[in-house]
Amino acid sequence: MDLSTTYLGFTLPHPFMPGASPLVDDLDTVRQLEDAGAAAIVMHSLFEEQLVGEQLAHAAYAEALGESSPEAHSYLPAPAAFALGPEEYLEQVRRIKAAVAVPVIASLNGSDPGGWLAYARLLAQAGADALELNIYELATDPAQPAGAIEEQVVAMVRAVRGCVSIPVAVKLSPFYTALAHLAAQLDGAGVEGLVLFNRLYQPDLDVEQLEVVPSLRLSDSSELPLRITWLAVLSAYVRPSLAVSGGVHTALDAVKAIMAGAHAVQMVSALLRHGPQHLGAVREATAQWLEEHEYESLRQLQGSMSYARCPDPKAFARVNYVKVLQSWRAAEDTASRTLALRRDKA
């Protein structure tokens, strides 16, 4: 079965790859992922907080650091909390590049414009084939309008684009007021890919210690429908290739994401749970599904359920919303009819 796809301009034998995670901090695991057939390696992020906190010798970079906000420093995790410091991260890019033949996608992760974005150039120089820019921000400032937040995202992307010529993907949160407009702006800013989505990590409260407790819960397939919705919407009109990130655990999950328009399928929770070889198992099961359903290639499936075929996506979404609310009543009616039948029989 021809599973080939194009992501960030790379022709890949299939769409499956590990998403950004600590899996690739260890070179043995990277090799296991390649053995399992990973089409690309997405690296764990290098965080703005690390770059702003570190006094780097690199002269141009150190100069640009002047733009960063000083109060950000007070919340910084200790350097030891990060698996790899900035210099070690560059070394890890070089090591992974030397160890695998597939494209290596480095990841920069932050929320504010600033000189730290210039680090993209060093990642490209270290050998990264592409860059994923993860913009993760909780919009907490009541004085900052939605448009300004989106403009800031686009400005950050332009800053990175200005530093590197390798393909750039942006990993987004689903919680923008006008995601479709933002995606179009990012398309205009020259990104080659959009990764849908970041997960919003929701901390818990320790009510005895009065502390915020970070909680990391691995995903399950229930997180996929939000991705499917936006893949279907965006694949109808944006030029950048699309990756799904979040909630892919099985071949059926992957098939749904690809039907909605995904060009790449990233998995993290499933690989953390079942090990790197799970990537190969999902790839094989996807090929089998395509054969059983008489598809000739993955490209034939790709985008077949995109909103591109829908004359009025907004009306379609609205109709589905109303239908879903009404389906509860239909389910209740069926349940009470079944109960009545049972009662009659008794």
Residues at the site binding ligand FMN, with contacts judged by CB under 6 A: 19-22, 44-45, 107, 109, 134, 171, 198-199, 216, 218-219, 223, 245-248, 267-270
Q: How far is the CB of 48 from ligand FMN (least distance, A)?
A: 12
The amino acid present at 164, given as its one-letter code, is: V
Closest alpha carbon to 34 in 283, 289, 298:
283
In the beta sheet, which residues pair with residue 245?
266
- Smaller CB distance to ligand FMN: residue 176 or 295? 176
- Smaller CB distance to ligand FMN: residue 20 or 117? 20
- Smaller CB distance to ligand FMN: residue 20 or 123? 20
Q: How far is the CB of 279 from ligand FMN (least distance, A)?
A: 11
Q: How far is the CB of 54 from ligand FMN (least distance, A)?
A: 17
Residues 6+ apart with CB under 8 A from 158: 189, 190
Burial 111-136 (b: 16+ CB within 10 A, else e): bbbbbbbbbbbbbbebbbbbbbbbbb
Residues 6+ apart with CB under 8 A from 21: 44, 268, 271, 272
Q: How far is the CB of 111 from ligand FMN (least distance, A)?
A: 12
247 contacts 253 by C-beta, under 8 angstroms: yes
Q: How far is the CB of 168 from ligand FMN (least distance, A)?
A: 14
- Smaller CB distance to ligand FMN: residue 48 or 150? 48
Question: What is the maximal distance between C-alpha atoms in the chain?
Answer: 85
d(CA 176, CA 46) in angstroms, rounded, equals 23
- Smaller CB distance to ligand FMN: residue 61 or 89? 89
Q: How far is the CB of 249 from ligand FMN (least distance, A)?
A: 7
d(CA 153, CA 150) in angstroms, rounded, equals 5
265 contacts 302 by C-beta, under 8 angstroms: no
Closest alpha carbon to 286 in 243, 253, 244:
253
In the beta sheet, which residues pair with residue 206?
211
Q: How far is the CB of 219 from ligand FMN (least distance, A)?
A: 3
Query: Residue 47, Cα to own-chain centre: how many angstroms?
Result: 16
173 contacts 136 by C-beta, under 8 angstroms: yes
- Smaller CB distance to ligand FMN: residue 229 or 313? 229
- Smaller CB distance to ligand FMN: residue 37 or 247? 247
Q: How far is the CB of 195 from ligand FMN (least distance, A)?
A: 7
- Smaller CB distance to ligand FMN: residue 5 or 245? 245
